Amino acid sequence: MGSGDNEASRNKNKEARVRDGDKLDKLRAEGYALDMLSDEQLDILRDLSDNELGVLIEVGHRLAAEEPEVTAHAPMTIGGLFF
């Protein structure tokens, strides 16, 4: 494997980490409180496929839509995630 191959591999890994970090940023932007999660739990969220991430966000929105207005601002947890 030449040095160009190694560099391409490093760039691909770096891009993957950025995309995975973007997943956490997207969840935070959607209102998920991730600060209370362990590193292991954050790793699981980073490993979600784009489809899984979309489902998680959609379920969070649907659950929030069914909450009474009085409790809509209180944190809700399901499986350790805050909605």
Cα–Cα distance for residue pair 36/65, rounded to 1 Å: 23
Q: In this predicted model, what pLDDT tens digit does every residue of 40-68 receive, in sequence order?
A: 999 999 999 999 999 999 998 888 887 66
User: How far, in Å, are 4, 13, 32, 70 from residue 26 at the CA level?
Assistant: 33, 20, 9, 26
- Which positions ≥6 away from 67 have C-beta within 8 Å? 76
- pLDDT, tens digit, 9 for 90 and up, residues 2-55: 555 666 655 554 455 446 679 999 999 988 888 888 999 999 999 999 999 999
- How many other β-carbons are positioned within 10 Å of the β-carbon of residue 37? 18
